[in-house]
Amino acid sequence: MSRGFGVAAGLDPEVARPLAASCAELGYASMWSNDHPGAKGLETLAEFAAAAPSIDLGVAVIALDRQSPDVIAADIERLSLDPKRLWLGVGAGFSERPLTRMRESLPELREKLPGVRLVLAAMGPKMCALAGAEFDGAFFNWMTPEFAAGAREQVEAGARDAGRETPPVLGYVRTAVGEDAGPRLAKEESFYRDLHDGYRNHFARLGKPNGTVGVATVSAGETQQALIAYEDVLDTVVVRGLASATVEAMTSLASAAAPD
């Protein structure tokens, strides 16, 4: 069981580097970035790597309809990222037949990215089972602890059917702390709720009102209590910080959510 800290890709290096150094001192085991059309997560990881050489690095997730394994491999080499430190989350993005796309992409990912731990973005039962059966981990997103527990069972079932041990289950937990925590979480969540059919279907299955999937608290003590519920079902809780993109704001949030 470990805790990571995650941000949106494209964070200013003058913020990313001191943030990573602080997170390493606070006891986080890994630093994470998402990946989106406006910025590459691997480039943000390179800034983290320079400031915190002792902890793991993760990107979650890179959509394979936007970046091929060749492009990902070239970026890792260009940025001098150590494959052994990397957790690479991959997803289908807007691909048709996403389950088939991810199953068929895995051999090429293995070939082009030797030594990199490949984790599959998984929400539905079939994708969770595929993560358990064939990938190095499953990566959850936008789940309550109760829903994550059920999704983990699907990962475990996939691993069991494949005759292997269950790989690590990791996941983002959107986290905001302070008087404006509720509106911050609700704003972030509302964007994803209507991003595409996959997310629309996922939030419909959750059946939770907007602004309730994640952690929105006023104090550090409340934050820790909320995160403990996720640690019961995730091997690595990645605290996805919802704060202003400044050193002070991000570090303050990281401190409130830091592992014991």
pLDDT along the chain (260 residues), means of 10: 96 98 98 97 98 97 97 98 98 93 98 98 96 98 98 98 98 98 98 91 96 97 97 97 98 96
Q: How far apart are the first and last CA of the chain?
A: 12
210/225 Cα distance (integer angstroms): 21
User: Tell me, what's the pLDDT at 197?
Assistant: 87
DSSP conformation letters of 133-192: HHSSEEEE-S--HHHHHHHHHHHHHHHHHHTSPPPPEEEEEEEEESTTHHHHHHHHHHHH
Q: Which of 46, 41, 90, 86 is nearest to 68 (CA)?
A: 90
User: Tell me, what's the pLDDT at 198?
Assistant: 87
Q: Which of 150, 168, 166 is nearest to 158 (CA)?
A: 166
Burial 193-207 (b: 16+ CB within 10 A, else e): beeeebbeebbeebe
User: Tell me, what's the pLDDT at 39?
Assistant: 98
Fold of the domain spanning 2-256: TIM Barrel (3.20.20)
Amino acid at position 216, single letter: A
User: Tell me, what's the pLDDT at 24?
Assistant: 98
Tell me how long the chain is. Answer: 260
The 10 Å Cβ neighbour count of residue 3 is 23
241/174 Cα distance (integer angstroms): 6
User: What residue ranges do the domains of the chain occupy?
Assistant: 2-256
User: Tell me, what's the pLDDT at 89?
Assistant: 98
For tokens 């979650």, what's the residue?
A: 60
